[in-house]
Structure 1
Amino acid sequence: MVFKFIDPSNTQKHSQIILKRISTGNTIPYSNLNHGDTQMNRLGERIKDLMTEKGWSEGELARRAGLKQPTVHRIIAGTSKDPRQANVERIASALGVLPEVLRKGGGAAKIDAMPTGPSTSDSLTSAPRLDGYVPVISWVQAGAFTCMDGIDFTADEIVPRPPGSSFSTFALRVRGQSMLPKYEPGLIIYVDPEVAPYDGDDVVALLTDHNEATFKQLVEEPGGGRMLKARNPAWPDPWIHINGNCQIIGVVVGSLWLRQPR
């Protein structure tokens, strides 16, 4: 005969389950009782511990992970019995740990502390850390841009945040050919509204006359003021003069090319 001690706080619940099994002639292993709930509670506790270390709220974690706050709350509270692996991976990335750390515990496998293997050169350093995700928004959303409150951080498409960019960064897909050959149509560009624009920067600007966003290079000529320029040398009318009719939304700080599935 094997005895198993049961948490007194759960005695009534376990007794009801056991009595039901006895009355129907079925048995259930003790080890399976409440096992899933325990796993989910531990997952939530590990997430909360890491949030406490960083001083984050559930809302802040949701923003950095590119998830809705109710989703994060359900995972932490354990009410989501089988959270999607993709959501756990987003949370883990935002917290700077591997998903296995959240699932199984252990604090050694942090992303910024992962071994990089033997180095063949003293000049080699570990790769910069990716911290969370950013939304890929539409050009219509970019054209309606007024402040960061207008950006949907729960967009259907998200991409990893580039190192060194602010948490206000968002992404767009290049359309048209005005910025060839550097930027091809379909390429994802990262736009950071908190970076100050300088001469030669590629920027996304809002043309208030037409209430539409455009992607161009910022050019500042001495005595000539500021202008926007299409990089494509064959583009007709490549210059747009800025005379108070333009608001620079943000500076392009990076790009991402993804192979299209076939």
Structure 2
Amino acid sequence: MDELKDRIRHALTKAGLSQTAAAHRIGVTPQSVYKWLKTGKIDKSNLQALADITGFGLDWFLKTSERSWTPKNGSSGLVLIPGAKPLAQTVDLYPLISYSQASDLLDSNERLAPVDAEDWLPWPYGCGEDTFALRVRGTSMENEFFEGEIVLVDPSRTPQPGDFVVVKPPLNREVVLKKLMREGDTWYLASQNREWPDPVRRLDESWAICGIIIGKFKKY
């Protein structure tokens, strides 16, 4: 999303606003909104109004911040932490990526370009700037994580026994989700599905931990 017109389209889509609805709320004609989407040319007062109705910060539209979003209601699908409060009114967005992209990030140590993510999702609690999201696949972690749910992964945190982690197996291009366990000086990776074959395996240096799961999105 390097061009302003693409950011305008993305913001309207995420906010669930049609061109007509956006025009009505801002106080312009639908033809004006169509022109913004076609050319990316929009004056700053209308851009500020667009930022207000979509929840995306003005700096995000102007590319001074790649990821900024202001929540407008409680329908985001976040599983909130009981008793916790968001750290700020403006919430950072984090990329939803594939399992192979997560593996590549570990190998290359490179930052993800905005256009490479499937989506950008809000997380209102403290986490590292390289946090990313994954869509759960398979049934190995059922009882804790179910297929289709989205987990947030923070690579900056130090793994502790009992953490849910994203790890890269040896000779594999895709990461997996496991629970980190320790017995004495030996570390293990465990599945949560008791019927999963080989539910516990020893963690050795051939496995690489990509990050700690810090939360998940779930919609009802």
Q: Same fold (TM over 0.5)?
A: yes
1:230 to 188, 191, 199: 191
SS in 1 for 2:105: coil
Alignment pair present for 1:143 and 2:146? no
Paired residue type of 1:198: Q
Summarize the Cα distance change of 1:139–1:125 in structure 2 as closer, same or farther, 3 Å threshold. Answer: closer
Question: Out of 64, 67, 82, which is 2:67 matched to?
Answer: 64
- Indicate the RMSD between aligned Cα atoms, in angstroms: 3.4
Identity across matched positions, percent = 29
Q: Any idea what SS the aligned residue of 2:216 has?
A: strand
Cα separation, 1, equivalents of 2:102 and 2:200: 21
> What residue in structure 1 maps to residue 23 of structure 2?
none
Secondary structure in 1 matching 2:67 = helix
The aligned counterpart of 1:15 is: none
Aligned counterpart in structure 1 of residue 136 of structure 2, from 166, 174, 178: 174
Hey, what's the Cα distance between the residues in 1 that align with 2:83 and 2:134?
Answer: 30
- Corresponding position: 1:251 with 2:205: no
SS at match of 2:110: helix
What secondary structure sits across from 1:64 in the alignment? coil
Counterpart in 2 of 1:19?
none
Distance in 1 between residues matched to 2:173 and 2:42, nearest whole Å: 51
What is residue 219 of structure 1 aligned with on the other side? 181
Structure 2: gaps of 5 or more residues: 1-31, 52-57, 73-81
CA distance in 2, matches of 1:192, 1:232: 23
Q: Distance in 2 between matches of 1:229 and 1:205?
A: 11
With CA pairs under 8 Å and 6+ residues apart, which has the higher RCO, 1 or 2?
2
C-alpha contact 2:100 2:173 (8 A) present in aligned 1 = no
Judge conservation of contact 1:64–1:167 (CA < 8 Å) in 2. Answer: no
1:141 partner SS: helix
Q: Which has the higher helix share?
A: 1
CA deviations 1:45-94 (Å, max 9, x no partner) are: 899xx86xxxx9x6550x223xxxxxxxxxxxxxxxxxxxxxxxx4xx3x
- Report the CA distance between 1:138 and its aligned residue: 0.9
Cα deviation, 1:179-226, whole Å, max 9, x if unaligned, reads 111111111000011111100000001113323311000111103x11
Partner in structure 1 of residue 147 of structure 2:
185
Secondary structure at 2:43's aligned position in 1?
Answer: helix
**What do residues 102-124 of structure 1 show as CA deviations (whole Å, max 9, x unaligned)?**
xxxxxxxxxxxxxxxxxxxxxx9
Contact (CA 8 Å) 1:204, 1:252: kept in 2 or not? yes
Tell me the secondary structure at the aligned position of residue 145 of structure 1. helix
Q: Give structure 1 stretches of 5+ with no counterpart.
A: 1-35, 66-89, 99-123
Shift of 1:235: 1.4
Q: Which residue of 1 aligns with 2:26?
A: none
The equivalences for 1:1-262 within 5 A come to 40-42=43-45, 60-61=64-65, 63-65=66-68, 90=69, 93=70, 127-128=85-86, 129=88, 131-146=91-106, 147-154=108-115, 155-223=117-185, 225-259=186-220
Distance 2:169 2:124 in 1: 27
Q: For this pair of structures, how many residues does the alignment match?
A: 164
Work out which of the two has the higher radius of gyration on C-alpha atoms and give 1 or 2: 1
